[in-house]
Structure 1
Amino acid sequence: MAAATLRSVLRRNRLLTLFETCHLRDRLFFSSSVNAAAVTVGGTISPDPHFMVEYLVNSCGFSPSEAAKFSKPLAHLRSTEKPDAVLNFMRSQGFDGAGIRKVISWKPNYLCYNVEKNLAPKFLFLRDLGLSESDIVDAILNNDGILRLDVHRSFVPKLEMWESLLGSRELVLKHLKKTTRFFFASVEKTLHPNLKFLRDECGIPEERVSVVFRSHPQLISQKPESLRALVARADELGMPRQSRMFMWTLVVFHNVSKERFEAKVELMRSFGWSESEFSSAVRKAPTFIGMSLDMLRRKVEFFINVVGYTPSFIADKSNLLLFSLQKRVIPRFRVTEMLKSKGLWTGQGKFTCILTLSDTKFLEKFVLPHEENVPELLDILRVEGVCKGK
C-alpha cells in the first residue's frame, strides 16, 4: 500500500511538472492564438439586454429560438469582448461551427471564460499528453467538463486515478477521445462504492471487473444506485454472479433500456421461444440483446427459413446470433450448399462449427481445395466482400 501511494505521488508530481514546464515552454506558442482570440478589445458594446440573442445567431449559427434559450445565462453581458475571444480561440484550435455550438449549448457560460487563464492552459496540457489537435477536439466534444476542470486540482488526480484503474495512460486517453462523459465521476461517491459493491457484495474477482471496465468504463462511472439496478435485472434473468458472462450482461443492460429489452422478448416470443428459453439464450450470449430489432429478426428468420434450424435450437445455440449475417452467415451457407450440390461435401460438418472458423481456416478448408473445379466459390465471397485478395 505504501509503495502504491508513493508511486501515486510520484506520478502526480511528474504530471504537474510536465504541465508547469510545458506551460512555460509553450506560452509563446499559444500567445499568438490567445492574442488572435482577443483582437476585438472591448468588443461590441450594447445597452440592449437581448443583444446576445442576435450575437449567438450571427456569430455561432444558432437558430433564433436556440439563441434565445442559450442567451439567458449571458444576460449580464454588455460587451462581446470575452465571447469574441473565446470563439476566435476555439476556431484557432480546430473547432468548427457545429462543434462550437455543441459546446456552448452544454454551457453557454463558456463564452464568459478568460482565454489565457481558463482555456489555453487546458489545451496546452492535453497537447503535451500526446493528443493531436483533432484528438483534443474529440475529447472535449465527448467530455466538455474538461473545460471546467482545474488542471492541478482536478484533471491531474482524475487522470492518475483512471490510469490506475484502466492500466495505462494510453487507454485513458483513447477513452477520453471516444467515450462520452466517463471521466468526471466522483472517486469517493461513485467509483470506490461501485468497485466495493461488485467485489464484496457480488463476489466478482477484480481481474474480471477490470477486463470489462477497460472497454466499458461508463459501467463503473454511473451512479451506485443505477449499477445496483443493473445487477438486480441480471439476477432476475437468472444470470449467476460467478458466470464470466455476468459483467457483460451488466454492460448490455447499461446500454439497453427495459423497454428495448422487452421488445426483444416479444420478438423472440413471436418465433416460439418460451420465457425460459429466452433467459437461457441471454445467459449464454448476452450481447445479442444489443442489436437492433430488425437485425435480430432477419438473423432468426434466416436460420429458421433458410438454414432450417428450429427456434429451440437457436435458443440453445444463441451465440449463432452474434455472427454477421452478411459477412459470415450467408456467404458460408451459400458456399457449403454449392459444395453439397456438386457432391464435394457430405454435410457432415455442422454449420454451427463452420461459422466459428476464422476466415483463413474457412478458405483453407472449404474454398481453396475446390478453387479450380468450382471457381464460383470465390465469386460468392467476393460479392459479399469477404474475400478481396483473390
Structure 2
Amino acid sequence: MPESCIALLLAHNTQVLMHKHENFAAAVEEVKAMGFDMKKSTCVMALKALCGESSKFIWNRSCEIYKRSWGWSDDDVISAFRKIPGCMILSEKKIMQVMDFLVNKMGWPSRVIATYPVILCFSLEKRIIPRCSVVKVLLLKGLIDENFSFSSVLLPTEQHFLERFVTRYINQLPMLSDVYHGKLDVKDV
C-alpha cells in the first residue's frame, strides 16, 4: 500500500486502523479477494466498508437492499462496490429514495444503475431531481430522443449538463431554467 493510501487512512479513516490486527488483516484479504488494487485509494474506502462489526452490518444490510428490493445479483453488488465503495455505506433511506426515484419515477432499469454506482452518492434534491425534471420536459416536448443514456444526464459537471440540456433549448423552452431550479413543476410546462 503506498504512502498516499496510508495517509488517507490516517487522515480520514482512523477507525479502520483501530481494530484488532486479525480483523484488519481479514478485511485487507477480503478487499484483495474482491479485486481491489491495494495501490489505489478505492481500497481505503473498501476497507472502511468492511472493517468492523458495524461496518459489516451496514455492508450486509446494503447487499440485502440492493438484491431484495432492486433485483441486483451478487455480481452487480460486487461490481458496484469495486467502482464506488461508498455505495455500500449509504443509509438505507438514501439508497431507497434514489433507487425509487430512478427506477419507479424515471423508469430506468435497476441493474443499469449498478454500472454507475456513483449516482447513488449524488444528492437527490440538488442533482438528480433537477436534472431528471429537465429531461422529462425535453422528452415530453419531443426535443430529445428516448434513447439517451441516463449517465449522460447525471454524470457530467453542472456546466456541461446545463449547456447540453438547458442552454441549448432555452429559446424553444424559456421556462426550462425554472424547471431546473425547482421554481416550476414538470406538469406545469
Same fold at TM > 0.5 = yes
Shift of 1:241: 3.2
The answer to whether 1:269 aligns with 2:67 is yes
Deviations 1:89-111 (A, max 9, x none): xxxxxxxxxxxxxxxxxxxxxxx
Cα pair distance change 1:276/1:364, threshold 3 Å: closer
Structure 2 partner of 1:214: 11
Bigger RCO of structures 1 and 2 (CA < 8 A, at least 6 apart)? 2
Contact 2:5 2:39 in 1 (8 A): no
Distance 1:250 1:284 in 2: 14
The two structures, once aligned, show a CA RMSD in angstroms of: 2.6
The answer to whether 1:279 aligns with 2:73 is no
Distance 2:158 2:82 in 1: 27
Alignment of 1:174-193 (within 5 A): none
Contact 2:83 2:117 in 1 (8 A): yes
Alignment of 1:88-167 (within 5 A): none
Alignment of 1:60-71 (within 5 A): none
Structure 2 partner of 1:315: 114
The answer to whether 1:366 aligns with 2:165 is yes
Structure 2 partner of 1:303: 102
How high is the TM-score relative to the length of structure 2?
A: 0.79
Q: What is the one-letter code of the residue matched to 1:213?
A: L
2:124 to 292, 317, 325: 325
Contact 2:135 2:165 in 1 (8 A): yes
Shift of 1:356: 1.5
Contact 1:304 1:310 in 2 (8 A): yes
State, as a whole percentage, how many aligned pairs show the same letter.
28
Contact 1:238 1:279 in 2 (8 A): no
Deviations 1:113-145 (A, max 9, x none): xxxxxxxxxxxxxxxxxxxxxxxxxxxxxxxxx
1:342 to 119, 129, 141: 141
Structure 1 partner of 2:31: 234
Cα pair distance change 1:213/1:277, threshold 3 Å: same
Contact 1:213 1:219 in 2 (8 A): no
Cα pair distance change 1:358/1:245, threshold 3 Å: same
The answer to whether 1:259 aligns with 2:79 is no
Shift of 1:335: 0.2
SS of the residue aligned with 2:114? helix
Distance 1:355 1:306 in 2: 15
1:250 to 44, 47, 55: 47
SS of the residue aligned with 2:99? helix
How high is the TM-score relative to the length of structure 1?
A: 0.42
Q: What is the one-letter code of the residue matched to 1:275?
A: D
Structure 2 partner of 1:377: 176
Structure 2 partner of 1:40: none
Shift of 1:368: 2.4
**Number of residue-to-residue matches in the alignment:** 181
Distance 1:291 1:306 in 2: 21
Distance 1:359 1:375 in 2: 19
Distance 2:179 2:49 in 1: 34
